[in-house]
């Protein structure tokens, strides 16, 4: 934005030339960081002060954004990967005229939108940051979206800390940005030398960072992060590049307040208001941020797709049904995009790829980047599904956790759940996934047992908000539901009636429970079989109404899984039904699936045994 374009009058911009404006704005951002943190009594002013000039030049001269229409897909995107510099984020919003001085003063108060780390409670914050190393990977997702999906010329700017460059996820992002040729992505690395407890590994050796970015295929530019002219020139180079650009800026932590400048021991601490004087006092500049470039987002055609259906009694794996349903869903809903972690021939996401190659994103073996990219894509209105082995989604757990704080809607599919995968052994078995994903705020956890149920749940996931997780099984399982059966989220299915004992299962163990019920019937024990395909929310009403001894059985660890979900539902309903929980209670090994189910004591024979005991005593054996 040329200074001539800026609003005048009470904005204070007046006749300043560009450099003067940028410098003044930088000082204003510092003053505001000091003010906000001093009032709150906490926060990260010094980490904001180091990046203030970088942010000032960006806002005043390069960023294109309509603050009145934050969801306009043509907007540039700004991600503070170093989310602790939240006073700087909020200062920028004030300088853009988006935040009032009054609201600015509520920083870190209960009920304020100005939280300790930025979250999308504020409309100009796309994603929550504050777990370091996540902003750049999320920015990669946004930039992939802009380039490949939305096909709009907006830019993605990510302000990174130097400390967080130690997170491997930053290099996953570097790798993918280069691979996807994201010339629309700029990483601004605020090398202020000081981490939380002391100097970083590399101090002010900027070349460490530039060499690495270059080795990963980026343009990298070293700059004095307090020289506004040099910053502007670097941004111009970034805008002109045909590659992603890293601007590696030498900065001073606490810059502008001599008492704390470049001093260790001031991370995350409020500084005294006296700093405001040294910084030249309060300013109230309002800059007229440039509006986004014109353009219409690309729209993919919904070409229609074949919806899978499976014959009762036939066999198909739920992972394959996932892929077939996803391909069908992609035909109906052109907003659906699919990401996979280099195992699409195992998760069957490849069936979507075959049908809709332009909406499939190969994320290679980089699960953190996969989830982060999905978070970035959903900001732009896409409906991402991500898949890998259930076990390997644990690699991205912090990213999923932060996606919750971002109020993001991301759909995950974890295949190869449980010991039933067989010979590949325990490293490949998802055994903690239900516990991990149930524990997330607002999440949905689904665990289908057959092809038709899987397909229905995939369709349901398309319309769910928040984090939804589908758990699929490696081996083929018998189709036990008609293709037109409905499976509401939060529901369950009673597949067999019986009044002596209830076998509550989901996924692979549902089939073991059905076999057990058959055996029990031969002994005169009538077992009811309940399919809790919706593990969260669980069908508490149905469970509470059982009022007969319950045996739960799951190919998962006993903690946090189906069994405890059932117990919680019963307790919440104030019902005291005895429950025996069968689950994987030892470290599994390799072997054929049937032998492993037996060894884990979750096969039909062990269900029969547990059911007998439950009927006999009304309690666990």
> Which residues form the catalytic set?
367
Residues 404 to 423 in contact with a copy of itself, rule: CB under 8 A: 404-405, 407, 423
Which lies closer to a copy of itself via its Cβ, residue 12 or residue 563? Answer: 563
Q: According to the binding rule CB under 8 A, does residue 181 interact with a copy of itself?
A: no
Which lies closer to a copy of itself via its Cβ, residue 93 or residue 392? Answer: 392
DSSP classification of residue 259: T
Token pair for 191? 């090398």
Q: Which one of 47, 200, 317, 509 is in contact with a copy of itself (CB under 8 A)? A: 200
Q: According to the binding rule CB under 8 A, does residue 438 interact with a copy of itself?
A: yes
The 3-state DSSP class for residue 104 equals helix
Q: According to the binding rule CB under 8 A, does residue 365 interact with a copy of itself?
A: yes
Which lies closer to a copy of itself via its Cβ, residue 445 or residue 495? Answer: 445
Whole-number minimum distance, CB 212 to a copy of itself, in Å? 4
Q: According to the binding rule CB under 8 A, does residue 595 interact with a copy of itself?
A: yes
Q: Which one of 15, 242, 301, 586 is in contact with a copy of itself (CB under 8 A)? A: 586
Whole-number minimum distance, CB 552 to a copy of itself, in Å? 9
Q: Which one of 63, 80, 216, 257 is in contact with a copy of itself (CB under 8 A)? A: 216
Q: Which one of 253, 335, 557, 606 is in contact with a copy of itself (CB under 8 A)? A: 557
Q: How many angstroms separate the first and last alpha carbons of the chain?
A: 75
Q: According to the binding rule CB under 8 A, does residue 541 interact with a copy of itself?
A: no
Q: Which one of 591, 601, 605, 609 is in contact with a copy of itself (CB under 8 A)? A: 591
The 3-state DSSP class for residue 482 equals coil
Q: According to the binding rule CB under 8 A, does residue 193 interact with a copy of itself?
A: no
In whole angstroms, give the CA distance from residue 441 to residue 586: 29
The 3-state DSSP class for residue 382 equals coil
Residues 36 to 55 in contact with a copy of itself, rule: CB under 8 A: 40, 42-43
Residue with tokens 């990967």, as numbered in its chain = 81
Strands 336-340 and 360-362: parallel
Q: According to the binding rule CB under 8 A, does residue 33 interact with a copy of itself?
A: no
What lies within 8 Å, CB to CB, of 387 at 6+ separation is 322, 338, 339, 340, 341, 343, 344, 347, 349, 412, 413, 414, 415
User: Under a CB-based contact definition with an 8 Å cutoff, are residues 369 and 399 in contact?
Assistant: no
Q: According to the binding rule CB under 8 A, does residue 168 interact with a copy of itself?
A: yes
Instruction: Report how many residues bind a copy of itself under the rule CB under 8 A.
Output: 114
Residues 57 to 116 in contact with a copy of itself, rule: CB under 8 A: 83, 108-112, 115-116
Which lies closer to a copy of itself via its Cβ, residue 366 or residue 514? Answer: 366
In whole angstroms, give the CA distance from residue 119 to residue 441: 15
Q: Which one of 121, 282, 293, 299 is in contact with a copy of itself (CB under 8 A)? A: 121
Burial (CB count <10 Å: 0-12, 13-18, 19+), residue 39: middle
What are the CB-based long-range contacts (under 8 Å, 24+) for 456-462?
Answer: 456/485, 456/486, 456/487, 457/487, 457/489, 457/533, 458/321, 458/322, 458/325, 458/326, 458/329, 459/325, 459/329, 460/487, 460/488, 460/489, 461/385, 461/411, 462/329, 462/333, 462/336, 462/383, 462/411
> Which of 250-258, 282-290, 322-330, 440-448 is the region at the interface with a copy of itself (rule: CB under 8 A)?
440-448
- Positive or negative: CA dihedral 224, 226, 227, 231: positive
Which lies closer to a copy of itself via its Cβ, residue 20 or residue 476? Answer: 476
């Amino acid at each position: 934005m040329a200074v001539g374009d800026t609003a005048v009058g009470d904005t204070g911009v007046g006749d300043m030339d560009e450099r003067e404006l940028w410098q003044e704005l930088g000082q204003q951002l510092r003053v505001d960081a000091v003010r906000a943190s001093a009032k709150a009594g906490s926060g990260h002013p010094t980490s904001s002060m180091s990046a203030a000039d970088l942010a000032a030049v960006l806002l005043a001269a390069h960023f294109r954004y309509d603050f009145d229409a934050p969801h306009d897909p043509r907007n540039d995107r700004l991600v503070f990967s170093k989310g602790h510099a939240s006073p700087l984020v909020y200062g920028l919003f004030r300088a853009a005229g988006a935040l009032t001085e009054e609201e600015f003063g509520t920083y870190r108060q209960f009920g304020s939108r100005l939280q300790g780390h930025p979250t999308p409670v504020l409309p100009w914050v796309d994603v929550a940051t504050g777990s370091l190393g996540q902003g750049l990977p999320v920015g990669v997702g946004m930039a992939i979206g802009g380039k490949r999906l939305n096909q709009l010329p907006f830019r993605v700017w990510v302000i990174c800390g130097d400390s967080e460059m130690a997170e491997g996820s930053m290099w996953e992002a570097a790798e993918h940005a280069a691979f996807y040729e994201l010339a629309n992505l700029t990483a601004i690395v605020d090398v202020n030398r000081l981490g939380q407890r002391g100097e970083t590994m590399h101090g002010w050796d900027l070349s460490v960072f530039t060499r690495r970015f270059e080795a990963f295929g980026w343009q990298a530019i070293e700059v004095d992060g307090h020289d506004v002219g040099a910053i502007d020139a670097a941004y111009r180079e970034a805008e002109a590049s045909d590659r992603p650009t890293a601007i590696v800026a030498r900065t001073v932590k606490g810059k502008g307040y001599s008492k704390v400048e470049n001093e260790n021991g001031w991370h995350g601490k409020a500084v005294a208001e006296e700093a405001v004087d040294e910084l030249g006092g309060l300013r109230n500049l309002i800059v007229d941020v440039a509006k986004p470039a014109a353009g219409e987002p690309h729209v993919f055609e919904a070409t229609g797709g074949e919806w899978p259906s499976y014959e009762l009694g036939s066999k198909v794996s739920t992972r394959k049904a996932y892929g077939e349903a996803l391909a069908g869903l992609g035909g109906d809903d052109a907003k659906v995009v699919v990401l996979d972690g280099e195992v699409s021939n195992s998760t069957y996401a490849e069936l979507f790829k075959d049908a809709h190659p332009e909406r499939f994103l190969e994320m290679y073996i980089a699960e953190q980047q996969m989830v982060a990219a999905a978070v970035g894509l959903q900001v732009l209105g896409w409906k991402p599904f991500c898949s890998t082995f259930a076990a390997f989604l644990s690699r991205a757990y912090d990213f999923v956790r932060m996606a919750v704080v971002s109020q993001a809607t991301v759909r995950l599919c974890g295949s190869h759940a449980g010991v039933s995968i067989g010979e590949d052994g325990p490293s490949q078995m998802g055994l903690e996934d239900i516990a991990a994903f149930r524990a997330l705020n607002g999440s949905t956890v689904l665990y289908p047992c057959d092809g038709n149920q899987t397909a229905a749940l995939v369709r349901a996931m398309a319309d769910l908000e928040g984090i939804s997780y589908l758990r699929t099984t490696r081996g083929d399982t018998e189709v036990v539901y008609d293709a037109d059966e409905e499976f509401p989220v939060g529901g369950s299915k009673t597949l067999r009636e019986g009044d002596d004992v209830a076998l509550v299962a989901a996924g692979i163990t549902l089939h073991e429970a059905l076999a057990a019920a058959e055996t029990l019937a031969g002994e005169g024990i009538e077992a009811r079989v309940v399919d809790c395909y919706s593990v969260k929310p669980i069908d508490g009403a149905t469970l509470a109404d059982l009022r007969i001894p319950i045996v739960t059985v799951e190919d998962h660890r006993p903690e946090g899984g189906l069994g405890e979900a059932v117990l919680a539902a019963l307790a919440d309903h104030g019902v005291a039904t005895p429950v025996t929980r069968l689950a994987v209670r030892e470290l599994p090994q390799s072997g054929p699936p049937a032998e492993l189910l037996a060894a884990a004591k979750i096969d039909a024979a062990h269900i029969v045994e547990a059911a007998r005991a439950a009927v006999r005593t009304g309690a666990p054996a």
